[in-house]
Structure 1
């Protein structure tokens, strides 16, 4: 795990960044890689690669990046982990290839030398790759299927720059910092900036599961090599097999424990992290270290994670650490959180503090239960979205009904609309799956944006973003079940744009690699054919029973609380329960951290 950066001046007339500029971009990501820094520039200075290292696999200098192949024909910088690298290395060694060490980065170089871009089909893991082919004068950029690891590009004046963080690229003065209305509008609507947009017009994301090739002909299009929506769409339906799912879950956990350092786990009171801890204990040689957050505001309430988390830790013999977080610490950390947050997000505070607490224990790697709800139909959206689409869809397809209904609600029932702002979208959005999903996940609906942004920004942002088209591309064509559709939508949008991205910046801010065994493309391939047979509760019950010692029934059947944090009460200095408007209040504050006009300062 680490941070990568680089550039390629593909046009002869392009001005190349200075070596010092590349170093500055790299060192904006020092927190991602506190264990070392590297920089390589080609002899003609047309290509440069840079790297910050967090040593996880092969702690020796043999894992140092940028890394050149033994014959000097290829150079690479890589962020992530390839969990099947040892098997790939053994396969390559059997063919006579010789390795200096045992890093997954060196395996990528050898695999590319043999297979070219087809190597991407062999990888199990999370990754962002930038590989320079010196003979072909060709740059390959690629991301893993789920988009766990970020990779951003800026094509300016015939020179493409790239880095693991948006804010790192901003260290290059050649990159314009003009705000993109699409990114700003997207954030206010969804609570995060939808990929491939960023907050800046000049910077975009390499889409998850895609590759981009840059050569003398210019920057090629983003080409899919493995995507979540395609894997779900192509799955051949079959009956649910709990044993097969549990075996696949155990296999994924074993794969995600590959490391030359100790691996810990984030532990809440829920099924996902509890089952992962049990599977981790089954596979590990020693009792795992588990970290749980405690909040004084939640003491004695249902959303207090600590009592049940402690019980789960005892069940699996974990070394359990409970870390109390207070409003005062939140206030003290808010500037650091804003600086570390790479793109605006209404989430991620929980990941910040649990990562901070885990790194305080000396760990560099921790497992997270993120992804279980998306894979195994744990969210209420798997029930409510099909119902909304089915029952409200016909009415929503009546031409012109939406604006008329909104006007009537504002005039006749303003208090009802204030308590339930999404009611205003019920009369037109459920006409499509994309609209139904937007209604479910939106922070602000399109017709509410004028309250927080000027009309010109809203108009241009909505046009560029095309939010319904963007969401619609995440609906798997031909999927035979509502569960498959919702799984694809949640995984490709909310999880990718918010949960995974937040885990990346928040974990990396503390030099902690967060691994997500339930967000695994191999695992998805085994579960996707059975999605149509997953009924409410079945997926999570199957996960809970996967460890050799299953989770007890009172954990499995406990009402879902999520990995929550009392931001609302910290912002308002009150103990009141959060409601729908709290996300909007926090969104306004976060937007202010990036573009000014922040909400009122946060008090301790």
Structure 2
């Protein structure tokens, strides 16, 4: 894992790439690649590339980037790992390609030379890629299937600028900061700006499974090169009805995925909470015969988040070298400004704090690569909240929306108002039902539409449409109203086109794969692990496993009132029953305790709130001050970020 940045002229004949600009971009990401750095300047092609390396495969200088092809017709910068690099290497060598190093970057170059852009679609891994073809004058940016690795870009003043982190973009003198009101509006619901938006106007996230192509005629086009929705034959669909078949196949896929993610020339460790996901991951890593280091973090002032006892039990069972860390509110508070700095844009997930500390614990123990459990809850229906949504759906949410006339819906909603008063979640469900909106918007939400109407956007015109030509190229039909249901509608419409009869559980999974997982959960993992200069790998997000789970019927996802039912069947014989069936705790932080009786965060929250209330243009003047910990963390993170940026 590394970091890269750069720029290329699209329609700016006067651009002269300067090494000093590239070095400044590179220095903003040196935590992503502390082992070595390099820049490339090509005046003829008006191209500049900067790279910072975290050495994982082939630690020699031969694996350094930007990397050229032998004939110097192709150059690549790449962040991530290609897990099928050994298999592709054999195939490419059989075609006559000669390797000079063990780095997977050379496989990217050879795959492109052998098969063109279709060759990059053969890559199995987590990656963000920038590739330039000097002969064809074609330039590509490409993000992996599920969005494990970030990739940001901007197009302005005739220049395409790109980077692994937004902070690197600001080192280019033509880049200007301006906060996006519409992105901030959606952030308040989704706790992160939804792709392809960022919190800055004109700066975009390349969505998961997308590529950008700049051709020789300087035309920019986008392609969604991957979708988790695949087709099945009638015979294959019937197989999925068998629980035994599903358990056997999931087990096989997880074994393969875990083994692939052991590929490294440095030690590979694991984060171990003692929950089902991380414990199963450690069990499967142990089957490879490797001596594993495991890492656990707990809070001194949050007993409900302390799973150290269970982690020790698993570590003992598999004879790992186990490391633990206890952190306090002061530790979290002292890190908080650095957290805001590393995130680049607000991401309202308090898990960023323990994720950073457990990453640093691993790095201090000499580990550069860790396997983590991101994606398991989403794939295997692991949240109790999912079950609640499913029960509501099965009780008639969808069909009643279709048969009850709209005037009667509004009447029912008005009558229900006193019954749901004081519960924003219940009020939201009633509003969505009466407004013919989708029931499920995501597994983590902060503010609903009713609450956001009282904030500053409403005064400016709640239904003002914000136009964006580049965004429409990327995602045709995406409506940028000040209405977060439009984001949900866009993804659900795309799913209907690919799978007209998707059941409710498939709809939930698809939306999570398109929004919350890549932009919230995977970005907290990337940004916080990289802040400690380690690489996080997600064995539960192997694309073959994701595609398989997408077709598992709802009756097997949630069975006998058991969340994560199939994964728990996989665990039998590998883990003790008390680990498999203990109460779910989840990776979190005691933010409720911090806000209610903490020594640091209450005063900080009040201070940033008052500071922003003094500004007549502030986005949060009328925010719900009595919100719970999730809402307060969402607001606080927004305020802290805005203070830093402005």
Instruction: Provide the TM-score with structure 2 as the length reference.
Output: 0.85
Aligned to 1:314: 316
CA deviation after TM superposition for structure 1 residue 113, in Å = 0.4
Conservation of the 8 A alpha-carbon contact between 2:12 and 2:157: no
Stretches of structure 1 lacking an aligned partner (at least 5 in a row)? 599-604
Cα distance in 2, alignment partners of residues 597 and 108 from structure 1: 38
1:93-492 equivalent positions in 2, closer than 5 A = 93-228=93-228, 230-231=229-230, 237=237, 238-239=240-241, 240=243, 241=245, 242-286=247-291, 288-299=292-303, 301=304, 303-347=305-349, 348-390=352-394, 391-393=396-398, 398-399=405-406, 412=418, 417-418=421-422, 420-430=423-433, 435-438=438-441, 441-455=444-458, 456=460, 459-460=463-464, 463-464=480-481, 467-475=484-492, 476-477=495-496, 478=499, 479-492=501-514
CA deviation after TM superposition for structure 1 residue 384, in Å = 2.4
Cα distance in 2, alignment partners of residues 81 and 437 from structure 1: 33
Q: Secondary structure at the match of 1:135?
A: coil
Per the alignment, do residues 12 and 345 of structure 1 end up closer, same or farther by CA in structure 2, a change over 3 Å counting? closer
Aligned to 1:83: 83
Cα distance in 1, alignment partners of residues 271 and 365 from structure 2: 12
Per the alignment, do residues 594 and 376 of structure 1 end up closer, same or farther by CA in structure 2, a change over 3 Å counting? same
Aligned to 1:40: 40
Which residue, 563, 577, 583 being the options, matches 2:587? Answer: 563
Conservation of the 8 A alpha-carbon contact between 1:6 and 1:162: yes
Q: Secondary structure at the match of 1:20?
A: helix
Aligned to 2:575: 551
Per the alignment, do residues 406 and 340 of structure 1 end up closer, same or farther by CA in structure 2, a change over 3 Å counting? farther
Residues 111-147 of structure 1 deviation map (CA, whole Å, 9 limit, x = unaligned):
1000111013311100100000000111011111101
Residues 456-484 of structure 1 deviation map (CA, whole Å, 9 limit, x = unaligned):
28555794465333223433322443322
Aligned to 1:601: none
Answer with 320-329 or 164-173: which moved more.
164-173
Is 1:591 aligned to 2:638, yes or no?
A: yes
Per the alignment, do residues 395 and 548 of structure 1 end up closer, same or farther by CA in structure 2, a change over 3 Å counting? closer
Per the alignment, do residues 269 and 388 of structure 1 end up closer, same or farther by CA in structure 2, a change over 3 Å counting? same
Conservation of the 8 A alpha-carbon contact between 2:372 and 2:536: yes
Q: Secondary structure at the match of 1:596?
A: helix
Residues 482-518 of structure 1 deviation map (CA, whole Å, 9 limit, x = unaligned):
3222222222221112100111111111101110000
Residues 543-585 of structure 1 deviation map (CA, whole Å, 9 limit, x = unaligned):
3454695111121111211112112322343499xx9711111
Q: Secondary structure at the match of 1:284?
A: coil
Cα distance in 1, alignment partners of residues 333 and 563 from structure 2: 39
Conservation of the 8 A alpha-carbon contact between 1:212 and 1:219: no
Per the alignment, do residues 129 and 138 of structure 1 end up closer, same or farther by CA in structure 2, a change over 3 Å counting? same
Aligned to 2:611: none
Conservation of the 8 A alpha-carbon contact between 1:342 and 1:505: no
Answer with 349-358 or 523-532: which moved more.
523-532
Per the alignment, do residues 247 and 155 of structure 1 end up closer, same or farther by CA in structure 2, a change over 3 Å counting? same
Cα distance in 2, alignment partners of residues 154 and 234 from structure 1: 42
Per the alignment, do residues 99 and 439 of structure 1 end up closer, same or farther by CA in structure 2, a change over 3 Å counting? closer
Conservation of the 8 A alpha-carbon contact between 1:377 and 1:534: no
Per the alignment, do residues 176 and 573 of structure 1 end up closer, same or farther by CA in structure 2, a change over 3 Å counting? same
Per the alignment, do residues 433 and 337 of structure 1 end up closer, same or farther by CA in structure 2, a change over 3 Å counting? farther
1:474-553 equivalent positions in 2, closer than 5 A = 474-475=491-492, 476-477=495-496, 478=499, 479-532=501-554, 534-536=556-558, 540-544=564-568, 546=570, 549-553=573-577
Conservation of the 8 A alpha-carbon contact between 1:140 and 1:212: yes
CA deviation after TM superposition for structure 1 residue 170, in Å = 2.0
Per the alignment, do residues 43 and 234 of structure 1 end up closer, same or farther by CA in structure 2, a change over 3 Å counting? farther
Q: Secondary structure at the match of 1:31?
A: coil
Answer with 32-41 or 566-575: which moved more.
566-575
Cα distance in 2, alignment partners of residues 331 and 126 from structure 1: 32
Per the alignment, do residues 66 and 254 of structure 1 end up closer, same or farther by CA in structure 2, a change over 3 Å counting? same
Residues 32-73 of structure 1 deviation map (CA, whole Å, 9 limit, x = unaligned):
111111111114260111111000111111110001101100
Stretches of structure 2 lacking an aligned partner (at least 5 in a row)? 467-478, 602-625
Per the alignment, do residues 294 and 356 of structure 1 end up closer, same or farther by CA in structure 2, a change over 3 Å counting? same
Cα distance in 1, alignment partners of residues 195 and 330 from structure 2: 34
Per the alignment, do residues 68 and 528 of structure 1 end up closer, same or farther by CA in structure 2, a change over 3 Å counting? same
Per the alignment, do residues 408 and 30 of structure 1 end up closer, same or farther by CA in structure 2, a change over 3 Å counting? farther
Cα distance in 1, alignment partners of residues 577 and 558 from structure 2: 16
Instruction: Provide the TM-score with structure 1 as the length reference.
Output: 0.91
Conservation of the 8 A alpha-carbon contact between 2:293 and 2:320: yes
Cα distance in 2, alignment partners of residues 449 and 597 from structure 1: 23
How many residue pairs align between the two structures? Answer: 588
Q: Secondary structure at the match of 1:308?
A: helix
Residues 402-444 of structure 1 deviation map (CA, whole Å, 9 limit, x = unaligned):
776776677x46xx633x1122222231479963122764211
Cα distance in 2, alignment partners of residues 431 and 318 from structure 1: 54
Residues 340-377 of structure 1 deviation map (CA, whole Å, 9 limit, x = unaligned):
11221111223222212222212111110111111112
Conservation of the 8 A alpha-carbon contact between 2:441 and 2:511: no
Q: Secondary structure at the match of 1:41?
A: strand
Aligned to 1:602: none
CA deviation after TM superposition for structure 1 residue 337, in Å = 1.1
Cα distance in 1, alignment partners of residues 67 and 482 from structure 2: 38
Cα distance in 2, alignment partners of residues 94 and 154 from structure 1: 39
Per the alignment, do residues 65 and 88 of structure 1 end up closer, same or farther by CA in structure 2, a change over 3 Å counting? same
Cα distance in 1, alignment partners of residues 34 and 409 from structure 2: 53
Conservation of the 8 A alpha-carbon contact between 1:83 and 1:256: yes
Cα distance in 2, alignment partners of residues 368 and 433 from structure 1: 38
